Structure 1
């Protein structure tokens, strides 16, 4: 009886939970589905005091003690925020005080301040155990200013000049090309990393870039190459996707969107129009890296603070945009605590894990939505409406429609989306603040509080689920009947015993 009792009790709940949630089932994971957390090892987290050889936290130009163990210790922190990949700035052995990793001394060693190659392998292993992909910087163009090759007579033709006080590698030299490609392949084989970041590829020789790209991708399937060209020229940037670089840091996007989001009451008109225009220029816009700042830029927080704005709301709106438009969002460490920085080493502040969690929770929510709804990573992009400081757009993918609304005004506002732009007799279910908007004769009337955003999914109108109600009545009716029959049988048995 006990077994039958619980079986009958559970049937309605099983029927309820079998109702589909509305999100399209995620297909095989692609790079465009990723969201990347970018950190500088030295400034992130000190997990091993034994490798603090030259640490001086009071000197912004010196090592601060961050290391591989520190990253390992915080992988769950990164994972829990919804990130699916972690990008470590340069980790190769560097010259003294090369905390930033730009002064390469040895391509086959890790920086001793960060830890050993074995510790880095463990980092990659632990990341993969958490389903996190790992990228690292690979410097193609320069070595450190005092590199030993400079004093070796048989390597004088390994260099072609100077740039930013760093020796430029001569990539037309077959020996240099071979060395760099062999080193890149070695790191893939040795550590099982998933991608490289190639800085300032406009300096690189084009035929070498093609050769390098082909070689590393032959080494590991689905290996991702992320590059940067700081010219802010969309057409120049687009060219690199044709020679093997999968995606690039979208500097033009950052340049256009930072002024919009750094201040409240700035118009959002043309925000989506500009994005769609940029998308037409790239071979694969979904593999471009969307960001607002990085280790070589003034932090976006600084822009907000300079304009006497609270950085929290500024970041929330900007991140909503990055996470819900085509491209891979790249978030620089410290964004989640609104870390300040006026550029250069001033933007390389120490991470602080003992801060307010509000922005962290918001990023976590965006990460959850991006993972749950393929329309946010693979969908088309269409503007639905705009009115100065408010914009609404949709993403569609295989029958799933998400709608994003952003209000950059200091006042609460509403905007009406006509029924013909969405389906009639549906409803928009808010995924951030649980808002619910049903279609009407006017259309869909969206109301947003000041400096807020919402991500909706288009779904059938909610109401009484008649089939579910009927099933519940039948099940509980059968259960009551069953109990009644048992009671009658027991009563009859007791009467016979007398």
Structure 2
């Protein structure tokens, strides 16, 4: 009898194992909407190779500070622990003097010597891939550096547009042909120039096996170039990701580049609203929902838009908070929670996870400090892991259930998973109530601290302290679990009784 029961138990465990394996095999194929991107300014991240530290001056915000490819390799495990699944690197090509940021190209086919060799870059990509981390490289095709050799090459005279500053930003021709900040503007209508740039883009994909390009200054380059560019890189590597920088506040203007083959964009309209709403308590969150409603209408796949609260071109979020005389830790936690739970791909700028401060460029490009705020790092890592664990945060639909003053409730559902994000953006404690059909006979369990909220039929009343946010998972109520366990027990008991009856008949 004991042996038979042990056999049945083992059989049951084997059944569960097979079921779990089958479920794992049924998992959907991963796509870019499932990624979490970490944005790295190569020179300002981590110094892993002292041998390339010539002209480095940590006291000069416009000089090289020593970050390099080897430094990023040394921090790949840090990034993995942070929940990062893709990294975006500022341009890696050779730049002219003081081009630490990478946007003043001197040679499109060589790596910047301060960063390391092509072999170092390939090693970085390989080791990132070994950790299931994708690599996106920033690419500039609109302009060169101020002193590019082509400027004094008579045969390359037609490779540039005539020197002209952009005077009227509403004139698209001026935007595309003018010299942005005095940078020599490449004439992509010239077949030779175009071929060179397309060949170059293909070269880096084949040479290093990168997974995507972040396209700089997209609106300054004609759409017909981007169509050809998109076709070329996607033929080179299927599934290659393109995320464009179209610095504009009108989603209609940005989304028009979808037709040119660019599938994703950094979402500046959302960035503007997130910073405005979360840098100061008391703000309504309604515009966040309004941005999403517009995104659904205008973009081919709004789930692949890049969401961000910090980057290298804008005042850091923490500085925006301090200017409003608010608590940066409370405000940043709320902003990060929205960043990681809203539709779209979160893009975390280096240092945000350590609550780094910074005013306008170049102050927002300080050398990374990995020890500044371990508590915020842990909170960010928790959000990163939650996003990977819960498909509803990556693929789920999105709606706003409560919009009352500074309080809000957002809902995301995907298949059999439902999550609620509850915000109290006021300084004072608030009671937030909402009803939803998916709450019937369920309970809410916090994914941030495991608190449980009882549901009365299909309604919830919960209280949140000021400037707090919670992420709740809908789970079966305890009574349902007891019923389930009781049913399982009855089935097992019935099996034992049947076995004993059969045994008695044989004897």
TM-score by length of 2: 0.88
For 2:441, the equivalent position in structure 1 comes to 425
Q: Using a 3 Å threshold, how does the CA distance of structure 1 residues 442 and 107 change in structure 2: closer, same or farther?
A: closer
Q: Is the 8 A contact 2:42 2:90 kept in 1?
A: yes
Note if contact 1:242-1:283 (Cα within 8 Å) is conserved in structure 2. Answer: no
Query: Residue 502 of structure 2 aligns with which residue?
Result: none
Match of 1:218 among 211, 232, 235: 235
Alpha-carbon offset, residue 268 of structure 1: 2.3
Q: Distance in 1 between matches of 2:468 and 2:4?
A: 50
Q: Which moved more, 1:253-262 or 1:65-74?
A: 253-262
Does residue 45 in structure 1 map to residue 61 in structure 2?
A: no
How many angstroms does 1:86 deviate by? 0.4
**Alpha-carbon distance in 2 for matches of 1:205, 1:384:** 41
Is structure 2 residue 77 aligned with structure 1 residue 76?
Answer: yes
- Deviation string 1:75-94 (CA, Å, 9 cap, x unpaired) is 11111111110001111000
For residues 471 and 195 of structure 2, what CA distance do their matches in structure 1 show?
49
The 8 Å contact of residues 187 and 193 in structure 1, kept in 2 or not, is answered as: yes
1:24-56 deviation line (CA, Å, top 9, x unaligned):
974111101111000101000001101111111
Kept in 1: contact 2:216–2:244 (CA 8 A): yes
CA-to-aligned-CA distance 1:338-357 (integer Å, 9 cap, x gap): 11111111110011112221
Name the CA distance, whole Å, in 1 between partners of 2:432 and 2:300.
34
* 1:304 pairs with one of 318, 321, 327: 321
Q: 1:471 to 1:205 in 2, by over 3 A?
A: closer
Conserved 8 A contact 2:398-2:410: yes
User: Which stretch has the larger CA shift, 403-412 or 58-67?
Assistant: 403-412
How far residue 6 of structure 1 moved from its aligned partner, in angstroms, is: 9.0
Question: Which residue of structure 1 aligns with residue 222 of structure 2?
Answer: 205
Matches within 5 A, 1:385-400: 385-400=402-417
Deviates more, 1:405-414 or 1:39-48: 405-414
Correspondence 1:257 to 2:258:
no
Aligned-partner Cα distance in 2 for 1:328–1:263: 24
Q: How far apart are residue 365 of structure 1 and its match?
A: 1.4
Answer 1 or 2: higher relative contact order, Cα 8 Å, separation at least 6: 1
SS at match of 1:164: helix
Cα offset, 1:17, TM superposition = 9.8
Q: Tell which deviates more after alignment, 322-331 or 211-220.
A: 322-331
How far has the Cα of 1:467 moved from its partner? 4.9
Distance, in Å, in 2 between the alignment partners of 1:335 and 1:7 is: 54
Moved more, 275-284 or 399-408: 275-284
Match of 2:263 in 1: 246
Quote how far apart the aligned CAs of 1:390 are. 1.0
Deviation at 1:281, TM superposition (A): 2.0
State the alpha-carbon separation in 1 of the partners of residues 463 and 8 from structure 2.
43
SS in 1 for 2:185: strand
| Aligned match for 2:311, one of 294, 302, 320 | 294
Q: Shift in Å at residue 106 of structure 1? A: 0.7
Equivalent residue of 1:457, what SS? strand
Contact 1:299 1:340 in 2 (8 A): yes
Residue 141 of structure 1 deviates from its aligned partner by 0.3
SS at match of 1:114: coil
The question of whether the paired residues in 2 share the 8 Å contact of 1:427 and 1:460 is answered with yes
Q: Deviations over 1:182-217 (max 9, x none)?
A: 011010001000000111111001111100011001
Q: 2:459 aligns with which of 428, 443, 447?
A: 443
Which residue among 163, 175, 183 is the counterpart of 1:166?
183
Unaligned ranges ≥5, structure 1: 480-498
Shift in Å, 1:14: 8.9
- In the alignment, structure 1 residue 99 sits paired with structure 2 residue 116: no
Match of 2:388 in 1: 371
**RMSD of the alignment, in Å?**
2.7
In structure 1, the partner of 2:120 is 119
- 8 Å Cα contact 2:251/2:294 also seen in 1: no
Alignment of 1:395-410 (within 5 A): 395-410=412-427
Q: In 2, Cα distance between the equivalents of 1:15 and 1:396?
A: 29
Distance 1:472-1:227 versus aligned 2 partners, 3 A rule: same
The match for 2:300 among 283, 294, 300 is 283
Please give the alpha-carbon distance, in whole angstroms, between the structure 2 residues aligned to 1:312 and 1:222: 38
Residues 102-138 of structure 1: CA deviation (Å, up to 9, x unaligned): 1101111110000000000000000000000000111
State the shift of 1:265 in Å: 2.3
